[in-house]
Amino acid sequence: MKKLLISAMVTLTLMAPTNIFAASPDSVASIAAAENSGSAWVARFPGSKSVDDLNDPFKSNVKSFIAALQAAGISTSIESTYRPEERAYLMHWSWKIVNKKVSPKDVPAKAGVNIKWVHDNDDANYSKSIAGAREMVNGYGISNLNVAPALNSNHTARNAIDLGTSWSKSSVVITDANGKKVTIDSGAKNSTNATLISVAKTYGLVHYTPVNDDKNHFSPNGH
């Protein structure tokens, strides 16, 4: 009787499904259909506008510079600080497509970004694909850039800020990092002003050059 019971238990065990090849919920979730480029991508892989998301010592330098700007009566607006690599990828290639630097069919894939740069049933000129990329460029606010956002940059390394500045007075006086009072009474009243750029450098913020290609970009080395 005992032998029969053991035999039955072994048989039931062998018959029970093991599901060793069943997909886990995580793996199922990771298998998503590729999606055409377009405005929906702009909200994904969000970047930051917070100075606190930067690395020191650049973070502390930025805070000191902004404090000096505001004390001088100069308005400031932060457009971007940290940027994830996935967002940088989307910004870089959408800008290149729109500015005819690359064909949608030649954009390399990136792991974790399941985007279709070439839309289904597009025409020979890739008009739908280019329109989708243009929606992204407009959504990212980079249509006025004269250079593509970098794939790997000080933004992705938490060492850059896009800092807009403006003032309406005929002149402003700002204190540099050495305590010197500097008067700005000529030139553009924004972040491309040569005197403002020289003051920023005393705080460890170097402006991108040529300045009009990326008007508000500052980093430790200008890149």
Average pLDDT over residues 91-107: 97
| Domain stop point among 152, 181, 211 | 152
- Same domain? For 91 and 147 the reply is yes
21 in any annotated domain: no
134 in any annotated domain: yes
- Same domain? For 72 and 92 the reply is no
Which residues face 78 on adjacent strands?
A: 163
| Domain stop point among 111, 131, 152 | 152
Average pLDDT of the chain to the nearest whole number:
88
pTM above 0.95, yes or no: no
Average pLDDT over residues 162-175: 97
| Whether the predicted pLDDT of 8 surpasses 70 | no
202 in any annotated domain: yes
DSSP 107: P
63 in any annotated domain: yes
Residues 175, 76 contacting (CB under 8 angstroms): no
What is the per-residue pLDDT across 46-62, written as a single tens digit (0 to 9) for each? Answer: 999 999 999 999 999 99
Residues 110, 92 contacting (CB under 8 angstroms): no
Average pLDDT over residues 155-183: 97
- Same domain? For 92 and 102 the reply is yes
Residues 81, 47 contacting (CB under 8 angstroms): yes
Structural domain containing residue 77? 48-82+157-222
- Same domain? For 134 and 166 the reply is no
6 in any annotated domain: no
| Whether the predicted pLDDT of 120 surpasses 80 | yes
- Same domain? For 105 and 196 the reply is no
- Same domain? For 106 and 146 the reply is yes
- Same domain? For 170 and 211 the reply is yes
| Whether the predicted pLDDT of 151 surpasses 50 | yes
Of 28-37, 41-50, 139-148, 173-182, least confident by mean pLDDT is: 28-37
What percent of the chain has a predicted confidence (pLDDT) above 90?
Answer: 81
15 in any annotated domain: no
The pLDDT assigned to 10 comes to 42
36 in any annotated domain: no
- Same domain? For 110 and 143 the reply is yes
What is the per-residue pLDDT across 10-38, written as a single tens digit (0 to 9) for each? Answer: 444 444 444 433 434 433 333 467 999 99
- Same domain? For 171 and 117 the reply is no
62 in any annotated domain: yes
Number of domains in the chain: 2
| Domain stop point among 136, 152, 168 | 152
